[in-house]
Structures are given as C-alpha cells and as structure tokens.
Amino acid sequence: MTTVSGKPEDIFDAQSLKAKKSSSRNLFNIIMTGLSGLCILLAVIPLVLVLFYVFANGANRLNLDLFTQLPPPPGSAGGGISNAIMGTLIVVAIATVISVPIGVLCAIWLSEFGSDDTSIDEYVRFGVNILAGVPSIIAGVFIYGLMVRPGRPGYSALAGGVALAVLMLPTIIRTADEALKIVPQEIRWAALGVGASKYQTVLKVVLPAAVPAILTGVTLAIARAAGETAPLIFTALFSPFRFNGVIEPIATLAVLVYNFATLPFQAQQELAWAASLILVLLVLLTSIIARFATRQKTY
C-alpha cells in the first residue's frame, strides 16, 4: 500500500493557493454578474421610457369616441380612430390568411420532405434568411409594382395585406421549421411503426405536436406586421372613411400615426399619440398570447 505524505508547509501552501483561486473565481463571477445586470438594465430602460412616454401622451384620449368615431377634419377637435383600428385588423388578417398556410407548408416540406440527395432545402433556407433581412420598404415597393402602379388594381387593403404577408413569411417559415425539428424522432418512428403513412404522420402526429411553437412564430410575425408603416404607404395608402372593401384604400394605425404626428394641429397630434398607444397595446397582446402558447410543451 502506498501512502502520501508531505510537509505541513507544502500542504498549507497548496490549500492557500486553492483558496486564492477560488476567491479569484468568486470575484470574477460577481463582476460578470454585475455587468450582466447592468446590460439588462440598459436594455430595459429605453423600453420602459418609450412605454411611459407613449402612455403619458396617449392615455388622456382613451375614451369611447376614440373607438367609435372617425378622424376629424384638420383643425377640428374630437373624433376617433375607429377606421384605423378596424383597418389594421383587416390588413393584418389578410396578411395572416395568406402567409400562415404558405409558411407552414414550406416549413413542413423543409423539415419533413426535404431531399437528402440535393441541397434544394438549403437554398430555400438561404432565400428565407435573405428575405428576412430585406427592408420593409422594399417589400412595399415590390407589391406597389405588382398591384398598385398605373394599370393595376390600385391602392387597396388587399395590396397592403400582401405586402405584410411578404414580411411575415420568413418569421413563420423559420419558426415552424424549428418547431417541427424539435419534435422527437421517436414519435415519427412510432407512427410509422403502427402503419401510418408519411403524410398521416406529419399531419396527425408531428404537426399537432408543434402547434404551440408555430403559434408563437405566427404571433411574433403579426406583431411585426401590425407596426409596419412604409409598406402600407405604398400599398394601402390611407382613407378617412370606414372600411369599404378589400379593393379600396384603407386606414391603418401606423399610417395614421405617420400622417397625424406631422400635422400642426393639437387634436390630430393627440390622436396620433392615442393610436401609438393602441398599437403598442396590440403588440403587447400578441406577445402575451405567444407567451401563453409557449407554456405548453411542443411534444
């Protein structure tokens, strides 16, 4: 049997060195934790200030008239933004109806049916990433050239919805693709093992398991689309009247804020702040929905 022995001085020096290293690590951890907390604080402060400023300027116009009346003529007091609220919901709904089926089907193909022999799916993912980085105004100009310019149908809610759908697609495709990937492979094998076809496995097993995560991507895409201004200026324009059909110009909250914030009339500026607050609350609502959706496991 071998025994380990040493001088008391050597043992003391080893313990002292170990204590110094532990103290240094603890100090480093404290410093980095403090820096991380400071960075979090610096990131949260602008958000809090923006929310506080918008709420302070827009809360005084929150009343029933705001949700039931039309915007007043320039220089007149009172009125509301009911047409812009309704218009935003309609345009975003059109964009959602267009983008969600296309985005989810594209994600299903990439995740479940992509060929291993070719790199087509990689090219598709690369194209989706490029589309995600395209400025929103470019999407507006693109749809303007297709649906609005002279000789085409013109400014309309439909054109605005298509422009927003282009912006929503990358978020939905990437989120749905990742949601389908994290569904355990064993679930697919189990479904195939009991005689289900590939399509039955995807539609009845894999897709329902990934629905919560897909819903998160959809709500995030809706939150982004609801706040876009540039594409709607080129496609939906603006209307001081109520909704009159999907092939007519339509009012939206983002464009109303853009138009009214620059007017030299206090009533219109107050409506712009109120519309900003409503828009922030809509985005907050979609984010809360996304959080509730992610509380459920995807498998």
Residue range 24-50, pLDDT digits in tens: 778 878 888 999 999 999 989 988 998
- Give the model's pLDDT for residue 26: 80
Percent of the chain with pLDDT over 70: 89
- Confidence (pLDDT) at 298: 46
With bands split at pLDDT 50, 70 and 90, how would you rate the model's confidence at 3?
very low
- Specify whether the CB–CB gap between 245 and 87 falls below 8 A: no
- Is the predicted pLDDT of residue 1 greater than 50, yes or no? no
Confidence of residue 97 (pLDDT cuts 50, 70, 90): very high
Higher pLDDT, residue 8 or 113: 113
- Mean residue pLDDT of the chain comes to 86
Contact yes or no for 70/79 (Cβ under 8 A): yes
Look up residue 128 and give its two tokens. Answer: 């989706």
Stated pTM of the model: 0.83
Residue (of 62, 63, 57) closest to 269 by Cα position: 57
Q: CA-CA distance, 231 to 146, in Å (whole number)? A: 13
Do 126 and 120 contact (CB within 8 A), yes or no? Answer: no
Task: Answer yes or no: are the C-beta atoms of 113 and 281 closer than 8 Å.
Answer: no
Q: How far apart are CA 114 and CA 107, in angstroms?
A: 10
pLDDT band at residue 160 under the 50/70/90 scheme? very high
Tokens 């003529």, residue located = 73
Taking residues 14-25, report their average pLDDT: 64
- Is the CB of residue 118 less than 8 Å from the CB of residue 248? no
Q: Return contacts of 258-264, CB within 8 angstroms, 24+ apart.
A: 258/229, 258/233, 260/71, 263/74
Give the span between the Cα atoms of 205 and 194, in whole angstroms: 12
Domains of the chain: 64-71+78-294 (1.10.3720.10)
Q: What is the pLDDT of residues 163-203, one digit of tens each?
A: 999 999 999 999 999 999 888 888 888 888 888 888 888 88
Contacts of 85 (CB under 8 A, 6+ apart): 67, 253, 278
Question: How confident is the model at residue 143, as a pLDDT?
Answer: 94
